[in-house]
Amino acid sequence: MFCSPRRGMIARMDHTGHRSVIDRACRRIDTSDTPPNLATLAREAGLSLWHFQRVFKAAVGVSPKRYAIARRRQRLGEQLRSAASVTEAIYDAGYAASSAAYRDSLALGMAPRRVRAGGENELIRFTTTSTSLGPALVAATGRGICMLEFGSERTLMSELKRRFPKASIERADEALADWVRRVVSAIDTPGTDPELPLDIRGTAFQLRVWNALTRLVPGETVSYGELARRIKAPSSTRAVASACASNHIAVLVPCHRVIGRDGSLTGYKWGLARKRKLLAREKPAGKADR
User: Which residues are part of the catalytic machinery?
Assistant: 255
In sign, the C-alpha dihedral spanning 186, 191, 192, 197 is positive
CA separation for the pair 281, 278 (Å, rounded): 5
Q: Which residues contact 91 (CB under 8 A, 6 or more apart)?
A: none
Q: How large is the angle between the packed helices 204-213 and 64-80, nearest 10 degrees?
A: 140
Q: Which of 214, 206, 147, 218 is nearest to 176 (CA)?
A: 147
Q: What is the dihedral of CA 276, 177, 6, 15, to 10 degrees?
A: 20
The backbone region for 191, taken as left when phi is positive above 0, alpha when psi lies in -120 to 50, beta otherwise, is left
CA separation for the pair 214, 116 (Å, rounded): 29
